[in-house]
């Protein structure tokens, strides 16, 4: 069974849905905007989204895939770069199954 990459439409190995790391994505977008010396209106115009949507993104609130994809193109990354890796949060409590070792 294959999945479809939401960006380029190519077949990929299926992966379970993972939460967006909003703070990480916000830092990438805002950092790139500063590096490119764009104000929020200039960057939003380049991305093709409203400055309100860009402000939300930079505050960690991504409301649509279209806005996220526009910001990813601006940054030069793929949306999968900004989601939790599989098992990431489970490893934070001890092991991949999410169960703590009995001690």
* Rounded distance between C-alpha atoms, residue 79 and residue 65, angstroms: 9
Q: Would you state the pLDDT for residue 45?
A: 97
Q: Which residue has the higher pLDDT, 1 or 70?
A: 70
The arithmetic mean of pLDDT across residues 51-79, rounded, is 91
16-57 pLDDT, tens per residue?
A: 666 777 888 899 999 999 999 999 999 999 999 999 999 999
Buried-exposed string 55-86: b where 16+ CB fall within 10 A, e elsewhere = ebbbeeebeeeebbbbbbebbeeebeebbeee
Q: What is the CATH number of the domain that holds 46?
A: 1.10.260.40
User: In which band, very low, low, confident or very high, does the pLDDT at 6 lie, cut at 50, 70 and 90?
Assistant: low
Angle, alpha carbons 31-84-58 (nearest 5°): 30
Per residue in 79-100, pLDDT (tens digit) is 878 877 665 555 444 444 444 4
The domain tally of the chain equals 1
What are the Cα distances from residue 13, in Å, to 2, 16, 36? Answer: 5, 10, 34
Parent domain of 49? 20-92
The predicted structure's pLDDT at residue 96: 46
Residue 1 placed within a domain: no
Do the domain assignments include residue 84? yes
């Amino acid at each position: 069974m294959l999945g479809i990459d939401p960006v380029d439409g190519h077949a990929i190995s299926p992966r379970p849905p993972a939460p967006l790391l909003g703070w990480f994505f916000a830092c990438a977008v805002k950092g790139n905007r500063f590096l490119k010396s764009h104000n929020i209106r200039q960057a939003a115009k380049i991305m093709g989204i409203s400055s309100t949507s860009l402000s939300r993104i930079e505050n960690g609130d991504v409301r649509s895939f279209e806005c996220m994809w526009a910001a990813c193109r601006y940054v030069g990354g793929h949306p999968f770069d900004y989601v939790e890796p599989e098992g990431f949060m489970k490893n934070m409590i001890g092991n991949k199954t999410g169960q703590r070792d009995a001690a």
